[in-house]
Amino acid sequence: MQQIKLKEQNKPLVFRGREVEYDHLLIVSISRPTAATVQPKLAILPQYRDLYLGDTRDASL
């Protein structure tokens, strides 16, 4: 799985200075800016948003 690969390479996903658990994410959409790339738009699942929000209510990554 991709999340295991990223963790093994020590490339954590960070939001507002906190490492994000991959299980807390939802893929909202996927675009292909070029033929060789894929760009997902991610959101933090509602039940986990309070862990990452701080003072704002926007949980899009």
Domain presence at residue 25: yes
User: What pTM did the predictor assign?
Assistant: 0.63
59 within a domain of the structure (yes/no):
no
Query: Mean pLDDT throughout 6-27?
Result: 83
The confidence score (pLDDT) of residue 13 equals 84
Q: Which domain holds residue 8?
A: 2-51
The string of pLDDT tens digits covering residues 25-42 is 999 999 999 989 999 999
Please give the structure tokens belonging to residue 57.
């209510």
Domains: count for the chain: 1
Q: Is residue 48 exposed (0-12), middle (13-18) or buried (19+ Cβ within 10 Å)?
A: middle
pLDDT at residue 53, as a whole number: 79
The pLDDT of residue 16: 82
Q: Which residues contact 45 (CB under 8 A, 6 or more apart)?
A: 24, 25, 26
* Structural domain contains residue 58: no
Res 27: pLDDT = 92
- For residue 56, being part of any structural domain is answered with no
